[in-house]
Structure 1
Amino acid sequence: MSGTSYDAVDAAAADLELSPEDGTLRLEPLGLVSEPYPADVREALAAALPPAATTLAEVCRLDTRIGQVFGAVAARADRELCAGRAHLVASHGQTVYHWAEDGRVHGTLQLGEPAWIAERSGCPVVSGFRPRDVAAGGQGAPLVSLIDLMLLRGRPGVPAALNIGGIANVTVLPAGGDPVAFDTGPGNALIDAAVRELSAGRLAYDADGALAAAGRVHEGLLERLLSGEPYYRLPIPRTTGKELFHAGYLRARLAGCGELRPQDLVATLTRLTARTVADALRPLAATEVFVSGGGVRNPALMAMLRDELRNGADGAGGADGTAVRGSQELGLPAEAKEAYAFAVLGYLTLHGLPGNAPGCTGAAGPRVLGSLTPGNRPLRLPAHPGRAPRALTVRGPATARAAV
């Protein structure tokens, strides 16, 4: 998969086995490979994303080129992590547009033609996960909420899972209540946009949170960003993307703000991400949150998040705070969790099992997600297991080996 930051393609490999006795899906992590997008593909993708104008010819070229990149990474993962014995590839694709208006999602578009992946890897490919949930009245996101819920069940208190990619999303499992999941707002999107603009494109992100750590939060700008954005007040479930939070959005909100040191701007945007996540979690009374995604590599962001959730310096929660932990404590390394989640979703689709959590996405009911593109061998679908898994356990080492 590649997320809203569109900087690299990640491929995680997993061995999956469903136990019919207790309905537990067991996942053994086999590792992760990650490759940056070729510079020309990344530049073409950035130039075509909203609010930029593009052409159908460019969309066709991107669909092909992204599919070819995904196919190469899938073949590498099979070779290096599975000894050439992979059975299935699950491709999230590259989201280029999520059509949301008035609190409802009408459509979603992910590029990366699966035929190229099937041709290069030889494996059948499940792709196009989001549209079926949208067609059933759902938000199409966050689809990882089903996997989050399977991992969080049995945890004490009110556990939550948080992924900080370009956009941040949470899944919360209230004690005795219905689970909820939604996008909280910009994860790294506005921070990355600011760093790219300030560096004239030389830097893609705030490495190690160095700029944010060197700056001071501009409280007036922070308040303007919070109070001036209606998205934060929409009812849940809600979803968003770079269709909203992009460089042009940031420029418009900085108009009239006067001179601002670069490090102060980045610090303010980092605090915005932490504040909007905390504002989303606080009313749900989350007692612990397991964090994954690229945001965990930003110490300044993680420190601000702990501060916003009123944790102590050691990250321990209390009666008035939320403990902040890494997703590796659930068995899945932070940098690979979403890729493993889509491996699970692909497995469910192949077995004819629903892959959405309708209470989280807002869909009318459980739906089998995605479309299947056959590989180079005769396609034989496995027998339906009879029931969907309720729990997911990770066996083997808590952190999978990674190759970049």
Structure 2
Amino acid sequence: MRVIGLMSGTSYDAVDAAAADLSVEAGTLRLTPLGLISQAYDTRLRDELAAALPPAVTTLETVCRLDTRIGQAFAELAARADRELCDDRADLVASHGQTVFHWADGGRVHGSLQIGQPAWIAERTGRPVVSDLRPRDIAAGGQGAPLVAAVDVMWLRDRPGRPVALNLGGIANITVPGDDGREPLAYDTGPANALVDAAVRHLTGGRRDIDAEGAMAARGTVHRPLLARLLAEPYYARPAPKTTGKELFHEGHLLTALDGLTLPADDVVATVTALTAHTVADAVRSHAGTEVIASGGGTRNPTLMRMLTAALPGIPVRTSDALGLPAAAKEAYAFAVLGFLTLHGLAGTVPACTGARHAAVLGSLTPGAGPLRLPPPVPGGAPTRLRVTSPQRLRGGTGPDRPFGR
């Protein structure tokens, strides 16, 4: 089956589309990457989205307008991916949508809202669409995240030692597959690019959105008192499973920590970059990780990667490219896998990772242009392993130049 996975993360700058051939053989899900294309949100849409996100106040009119325009942006990229990566032979589109609110309170998640109306995708491509993947896990008592944990557990199950999958998007999350009788686990460790981007926007008066190439952090010096204030955030001490988002880690969070301090801009950016490296490294050590396999936009920040490597002496830090999944596309491929599982009626969660009472089939299904025909059941039931086979050089390029901080 040929599936397109669509993803836009908490940095809300662009949509990624990754295409894959997926099949199951003897309990192993085989994924052949077909390529990645990306398209930046237009400036007006991005600005309107940014203005509506917490802690800002918005209106239902704005939510409706964003739901439509983001759905149209996803639809156009899905059509391109079908044409350029799939030779017009995609069977399914799996859309994560754009997260605009993750309702976490008192250690529990009560809801999560991803917008980007899937009807636009189905209408534009003619393909069935799996979307709205998080709420079912939340309804079953889970955190609704990190959903990529189900893919990570299958993918890394047979690696030696205790590998840790790390995603560095707006928020950082890890997955540690189970071994030796230990259950797998996954959770958000805290901010990745979220506070770095917020710091850059604030300190440059909005002239810049990211610390390109980690240049500001590289010039700066970590300010230990500010780092200590940031590390005092209670979220870090909470037990897993746990999730967070920009509802907590936004510009106001940083400004509160900066109260009474006057620091050079480069030092502030260096400090919030060090915060990500510190909290991720603490998490890796606490679970006796033996290697880190990183993905996401933060892997293209050389200063962050140097800080993380320095914080984990003796523990190799590599990107998912080394295992056949491009670091820039891994989450989009993961959602392609989750869509595949949903269409086959298979659960896409690991309860030990999300905290749910049971595993659940995720998402809602929007029919395409023709009659909706579900595939036959997978022989032998749900796959337990993921193997990346014959990864090809990415086709289609990456659209507009993409900065690392996404």
TM-score bin (small chain): over 0.9
Q: Deviations over 1:163-211 (max 9, x none)?
A: 0000000001243111110000001000000111112222111111011
TM-score, L = length of structure 1? 0.95
Q: How does 1:90-169 map to 2 (within 5 A)?
A: 90-169=94-173
Structure 1 residues 211 and 398: CA distance shift in structure 2, 3 A = farther
For residues 174 and 222 of structure 1, the distance between their equivalents in structure 2, rounded to whole angstroms, comes to: 32
Say whether the 8 Å CA contact 2:27–2:382 is kept in structure 1.
Answer: yes
SS of equivalent to 1:403: coil
Q: Deviations over 1:317-365 (max 9, x none)?
A: xxxx321011012210000000000000000000000001111000111
1:328 to 305, 313, 321: 321
SS of equivalent to 1:286: coil
Say whether the 8 Å CA contact 1:332–1:399 is kept in structure 2.
Answer: no
Higher relative contact order, structure no. (Cα contacts within 8 Å, ≥ 6 residues apart): 2
TM-score, L = length of structure 2? 0.95
Partner of 1:187: 192
Partner of 1:269: 272
Tell me, which stretches of 5 or more residues in structure 2 are unaligned?
A: 1-6, 400-406
Say whether the 8 Å CA contact 1:166–1:186 is kept in structure 2.
Answer: yes
Structure 2 residue 229 is matched with structure 1 residue 235:
no
Partner of 1:216: 221
Structure 2 residue 389 is matched with structure 1 residue 395:
yes
SS of equivalent to 1:93: strand
- Code of the residue aligned with 1:346 in structure 2: it is G
Partner of 1:206: 211
Say whether the 8 Å CA contact 2:23–2:29 is kept in structure 1.
Answer: yes
For residues 112 and 273 of structure 2, the distance between their equivalents in structure 1, rounded to whole angstroms, comes to: 28
Partner of 1:18: 24
Q: Deviations over 1:242-280 (max 9, x none)?
A: 0000011111111111x2111110000000000000111
For residues 143 and 398 of structure 1, the distance between their equivalents in structure 2, rounded to whole angstroms, comes to: 25
SS of equivalent to 1:170: strand
Structure 2 residue 364 is matched with structure 1 residue 371:
yes
SS of equivalent to 2:378: coil
Say whether the 8 Å CA contact 1:217–1:265 is kept in structure 2.
Answer: yes
For residues 257 and 386 of structure 2, the distance between their equivalents in structure 1, rounded to whole angstroms, comes to: 43
Partner of 1:343: 336
Structure 2 residue 81 is matched with structure 1 residue 77:
yes
For residues 147 and 80 of structure 1, the distance between their equivalents in structure 2, rounded to whole angstroms, comes to: 25
For residues 358 and 184 of structure 1, the distance between their equivalents in structure 2, rounded to whole angstroms, comes to: 18
Structure 2 residue 7 is matched with structure 1 residue 7:
no
For residues 209 and 7 of structure 1, the distance between their equivalents in structure 2, rounded to whole angstroms, comes to: 18
For residues 33 and 378 of structure 2, the distance between their equivalents in structure 1, rounded to whole angstroms, comes to: 22
Partner of 1:244: 248
Percent identity over the alignment?
Answer: 66
1:89 to 86, 93, 101: 93
For residues 393 and 104 of structure 1, the distance between their equivalents in structure 2, rounded to whole angstroms, comes to: 33
For residues 398 and 141 of structure 1, the distance between their equivalents in structure 2, rounded to whole angstroms, comes to: 29
1:226 to 223, 231, 246: 231
Q: Per-residue deviation at 1:398? A: 6.2
For residues 209 and 188 of structure 1, the distance between their equivalents in structure 2, rounded to whole angstroms, comes to: 11
For residues 69 and 123 of structure 2, the distance between their equivalents in structure 1, rounded to whole angstroms, comes to: 14
Say whether the 8 Å CA contact 2:152–2:177 is kept in structure 1.
Answer: no
For residues 17 and 237 of structure 1, the distance between their equivalents in structure 2, rounded to whole angstroms, comes to: 30
Say whether the 8 Å CA contact 1:211–1:267 is kept in structure 2.
Answer: yes
